[in-house]
Amino acid sequence: MDAKGRFGCKTDIGLVRKSNEDKALSLIDAQGNILLCVCDGMGGYMKGDFASKIAVDVINAAFKGKRRWIFDFQVKLWISKIVKSINYSVFSESQDTENLKGMGTTLCMAIFFKNKIYVVNVGDSRCYKLEKDKIVQLTKDQTYVQYLESAGKINEQEKLTSKDRHALMNFIGQNKDVNYALTVFKNDKSTIMLCSDGLYNNASEKQIFSALDSVERLDIKINTLIGIANANGGSDNIAISIWEPYKHD
């Protein structure tokens, strides 16, 4: 299998935060499988940075050193093992080290295997797909306001303006055991973007679509997205990881 596309990632501190607690990965293994990842650390200075670093370090080493995948179930087993390993490491460190108590991280990961994309989500970092005239969110935020909206207790506008809109109901390191969402999509060779809330809270879907749909190089697209977020306030760290098909595919 060939990657049949370009991929890349970048983080930015934004304009308000004193440290960058976001991490991003874009990897290819010996088989040509692609992995994208974004982690948004939390817990304050050093804590969030350490939690997100644990996550990306575990994923980086495990993806490059894993055995060859042949079947669908092997990908799902690997995902289960890695997410549990990351959570155990973050949770244990937060329990054992006084100055790391309360740390955690979101985790959004996309794995391209054969003709499928496996999207993993813990928290409120997001995975988007570029369609003909819009972007489509493939993940569902694991937040209190998303729960309220799904339960019919608030509407979309109330969700966007609620003072609790950043409250997570699930994140890596929250408990000894972890729950994660896994959704499998057909790979129809559409652009896939993972990002932290530092992007989507500071850039409209129309702005994100315009940047992703441009004919610019991938690195320029990523820098454009970061520039938009910072121009709109840069209220948080920004993490972006993208895969896009070659234009002739």
Q: Is the CB of residue 194 less than 8 Å from the CB of residue 240? A: yes
Structural Rg of the chain based on CA atoms: 17
- Alpha carbon distance 146, 237 (integer Å): 22
The predicted-structure confidence for 165-175, as pLDDT tens digits, reads as follows 778 999 999 99
Best CA proximity match to 202, nearest among 221, 186, 226: 226
Amino acid at 103: M
What pLDDT is attached to residue 3?
60
- Alpha carbon distance 199, 226 (integer Å): 7
Mean per-residue pLDDT over the chain, rounded: 93
- Provide CB contacts within 8 A for 206, sequence distance 6+: none
Q: Give the mean model confidence (pLDDT) for residues 179-196.
A: 97
Share of the chain above pLDDT 90, in %: 84
What pLDDT is attached to residue 146?
83
pLDDT greater than 50 at residue 125: yes
Give, as one character, the DSSP assignment of residue 93. H
Query: Where residue 156 falls among pLDDT bands split at 50, 70, 90?
Result: confident
The predicted-structure confidence for 16-46, as pLDDT tens digits, reads as follows 999 999 999 999 999 999 999 999 999 876 7
What pLDDT is attached to residue 127?
98
What pLDDT is attached to residue 249?
45
Amino acid at 249: D
pLDDT greater than 70 at residue 1: no
The predicted-structure confidence for 39-95, as pLDDT tens digits, reads as follows 999 987 679 999 999 999 999 999 999 999 999 999 999 999 999 999 999 999 999
Long-range contacts of 94-102 (CB under 8 A, 24+ apart): 94/43, 94/47, 94/51, 94/173, 99/46, 99/47, 100/43, 100/46, 100/47, 100/50, 101/47, 102/43, 102/44, 102/47
- Alpha carbon distance 237, 168 (integer Å): 17
Query: Where residue 235 falls among pLDDT bands split at 50, 70, 90?
Result: very high
- Beta strands 34-42 and 5-12 are unpaired
Beta strands in 87-159 (DSSP E): 104-105, 107-113, 116-122, 126-130, 135-137
SS3 label, residue 91: helix
Q: 172 - beta bridge partners?
A: 105
SS3 label, residue 39: strand
Give, as one character, the DSSP assignment of residue 172. B
* Residue where the block lists tokens 């699930």: 170
Chain centre to alpha carbon of residue 63: 16
- Alpha carbon distance 110, 192 (integer Å): 9
